[in-house]
Structure 1
Amino acid sequence: MPAHGKKYQEAVKQIDHDKLYDPEEAIALAQKSSTAKFDATVEVAVKLGVDPKYADQQVRGAVVLPHGTGKTKRVLVFAKGEKSKEAEQAGADFVGAEDMVEKIQGGWTDFDVAVATPDMMGLVGRLGKILGPKGLMPNPKVGTVTLDVARAINEIKAGKIEYRTDKAGNIHAPVGKVSFETAKLLQNFQTLIDTLVKVKPAAAKGQYMRNITVSTTMGPGVRVNTLKAASAKKDAE
């Protein structure tokens, strides 16, 4: 494994790896210690006390971040007739049916999110082996299989992100860019954490939120006090 560069080593020195930081402090430190020359993404990694191999302990869904992610997503909508027109008017980047299926089967996947009306899923199902591994398959659990295509498009464009536990029970999600104000990143972070607390599976036993880390693209991780993060909403009420 290659050694980290000087900038990374200097950034690491700013962080006390034995300390659990309050969310706002952790985010500010992650911004300060970012080593990228570009406007890096601020990411959150959450270790949950679940066993995803059991269906009733899987955590998956979507949430609209109040301040977006700092990235404009390209939306493809599978629809026909009036729903196709509705998608175009709502600002979808690509709209189609059989033509889009053929295009994707030909190797094109130049989009970030796919939305489909329920009647199109029989057609879209042919693309499972292509879109599934890329995380691009429309899914009713995250609101991308819907008759209300305008709402789906607006939410995605406004900053809707999907979250899903991996095999180890971890969730990785973007909450903005280093250039964001710390207060806005904190609100995005808290929205994500509050959502994860809300969707805790009934079958999950023991401590649910095991640990939280905030980091930036290519930057070091900053550990967050999970009790502070998980109770922030209660404190505000």
Structure 2
Amino acid sequence: MAKLTKKQKEAHSKIEKDKLYSVADASALIKEITNTKFDASVDLAVRLGVDPRKANQMVRGVVTLPHGTGKDVKVLALVTPDKEAEAQEAGADYVGLDEYLEKIKNGWTDVDVIITMPSVMGKLGPLGRVLGPRGLMPNPKTGTVTMDVAKAVSEVKAGKIDFKVDKTGIVHAAIGKASFSADKIADNAKELLDTLNKLKPTAAKGVYMKTIFMSSTMSPSLQLDPKSI
């Protein structure tokens, strides 16, 4: 096992073993124990009491974080010419269609979110092997396939994220940056957790939110008290 550095030991010493933290306390402490030279990402990992293999227990959704993610999200709008100006005005980083489809076909995926229109989805089908594994395939359920391109672009730029439970039953999501105030981190965390609570499948039995961990890039994790949500 690798030895802990002085800063890592100091961070671990500030965490009370076996304590379940409230969202507010964890949000304040995560700032104290983050020691990176860059603005670290703050993440939540929520283990849900669901079986993702069953369609009626799949948890997937979108949430607009009140204070954004702190990340400059690069958006590609794959739209027809009549929608290009609308997408550009809304803040899309890349706007076009056939030229970008060709770039993606050749392996280009230097974007965070792709927004498109229903009429264009047929052209994206063959690119599923490139976009699918990277989580870039647009989906009507997450609002990335829509005729209201401007609204979709604006929402993503403002901090709208989509999440999906993985095959182990865990939802991972970035909820901000360590440079955020503790209040902003807490607000974003609560918004995600509240949204997850509303999405509890009726087929899921027993405890829904089993464990919740908050961490930042390279920091120890803090366990939150699900009862405080």
Is the structural similarity TM-score above 0.5?
yes
Question: 2:31 maps to what in 1?
Answer: 31
Alpha-carbon distance between aligned partners in 2 of 1:129 and 1:5, rounded to the nearest angstrom: 41
Question: 2:214 maps to what in 1?
Answer: 214
Aligned-partner SS, 1:163: strand
Aligned-partner SS, 2:133: coil
Quote the sequence identity (%): 51
Aligned-partner residue type, residue 184 of structure 2: K
The answer (yes or no) to whether the contact 2:66–2:159 under 8 Å persists in 1 is yes
The answer (yes or no) to whether the contact 2:27–2:183 under 8 Å persists in 1 is no
Matched, 1:53 2:48: no
Aligned-partner SS, 1:129: helix
Aligned-partner residue type, residue 26 of structure 1: A
Alpha-carbon shift at residue 8 of structure 1 (Å): 1.4
Question: 1:12 maps to what in 2?
Answer: 12
Question: 2:65 maps to what in 1?
Answer: 65
Give the alignment of 1:77-226 within 5 angstroms.
Answer: 77-226=77-226
Alpha-carbon distance between aligned partners in 2 of 1:113 and 1:86, rounded to the nearest angstrom: 17
Aligned-partner residue type, residue 6 of structure 1: K
The answer (yes or no) to whether the contact 2:81–2:96 under 8 Å persists in 1 is no
Alpha-carbon distance between aligned partners in 2 of 1:139 and 1:164, rounded to the nearest angstrom: 12
Alpha-carbon shift at residue 84 of structure 1 (Å): 2.2
Alpha-carbon distance between aligned partners in 2 of 1:114 and 1:61, rounded to the nearest angstrom: 16
Alpha-carbon distance between aligned partners in 1 of 2:77 and 2:104, rounded to the nearest angstrom: 13
Q: Which runs of 5+ in 1 are unaligned?
A: 230-237
Cα deviation code 1:172-224 (max 9, x no counterpart): 11111111111111111100000000111111110001111111100000011
Aligned-partner residue type, residue 192 of structure 2: L
* Pairwise CA RMSD: 1.1
Aligned-partner residue type, residue 43 of structure 2: E
Aligned-partner SS, 1:132: helix
Cα deviation code 1:30-60 (max 9, x no counterpart): 1110121211111111010000001111111
Name which of structure 1's ranges 169-178 and 79-88 shifts more when overlaid on structure 2.
Answer: 79-88
Cα deviation code 1:127-155 (max 9, x no counterpart): 10001000111011111011111010000
Alpha-carbon distance between aligned partners in 2 of 1:69 and 1:134, rounded to the nearest angstrom: 19
Aligned-partner SS, 2:16: coil
Alpha-carbon distance between aligned partners in 2 of 1:122 and 1:8, rounded to the nearest angstrom: 50
Question: 1:234 maps to what in 2?
Answer: none
Alpha-carbon distance between aligned partners in 2 of 1:184 and 1:94, rounded to the nearest angstrom: 30
Q: Taking structure 2 as the reference length, what is the TM-score of the superposition?
A: 0.97
Aligned-partner SS, 1:161: strand
Q: Taking structure 1 as the reference length, what is the TM-score of the superposition?
A: 0.94
Aligned-partner residue type, residue 155 of structure 2: E
Name which of structure 1's ranges 137-146 and 85-94 shifts more when overlaid on structure 2.
Answer: 85-94
